[in-house]
Chains A and B, each alone.
Chain A
Amino acid sequence: MNTFFFVVLTIITVLMLVYFYRVVRGPSVFDRVLGLNGISTKAIVLLVLIGTMFERVDMFIDISTGYALLNLVGALAIAKFLEERGASPK
């Protein structure tokens, strides 16, 4: 079962690389924001996965919850700023 979890972890990490490509190359600022959101969702999943691998889920769940809530605050703040500011300063 641990091998399976390791394979899942590797696959998700490779997928993070795809979103990272979107963060680097995204034509507009909002593409970058979307890429960052995708990475953070995967980080939440990965934290729970790591916790399951170590059989210490109760410890990792706390960080995962904190991640999810902070991600909301950060993303809303970014969206508000971008909305006030208007289109990307290119």
Chain B
Amino acid sequence: MTWLAIFLIVLGLFFLVVGSIGMLRLPDVFSRAHALSLTDSLGAVLVLAGLAVYEGFTMNFLRIFVVLLLVYLLNPVISHATIRAAYRSGLRPTEEEKK
């Protein structure tokens, strides 16, 4: 059980690191939102799942699961709202936008 938890957390950390690298490398707001989506929907959720598995199948497992579900349901709404605001206020993806 502990090894499964460690595996999940390390996998989540991999996605968190990749998401951060993407945040630095990608050229514009719209692409960076993809990096954030990678961080949210895979990195954070996998780390939370690992912690839940580490807790074992007790009440705490369910509690962490509720937080996981919240992250899963709410973060797409947040990134959609941000990107829509960016789109509506006239921002467009440009290749030559400076890093």
Assess the A1–B23 pair: CB atoms within 8 A: no
Assess the A68–B70 pair: CB atoms within 8 A: yes
Asked whether B4 is an interface residue with its Cβ less than 8 Å from the other chain, the reply is: no
A-side contacts of B36, CB under 8 Å: 34, 37-38
Interface size, B (range): 35 or more
B-side contacts of A85, CB under 8 Å: 89
* B4-26 CB contacts (< 8 Å) to partner A: 6, 9, 13, 16-17, 19-20, 23-24
Assess the B20–A75 pair: CB atoms within 8 A: no
21 contacts between A and B (CB under 8 A): A11-B16, A11-B17, A18-B24, A30-B82, A33-B82, A37-B75, A37-B78, A42-B44, A44-B44, A45-B44, A52-B54, A57-B64, A58-B59, A61-B67, A64-B67, A68-B74, A75-B82, A78-B82, A79-B81, A80-B81, A83-B84
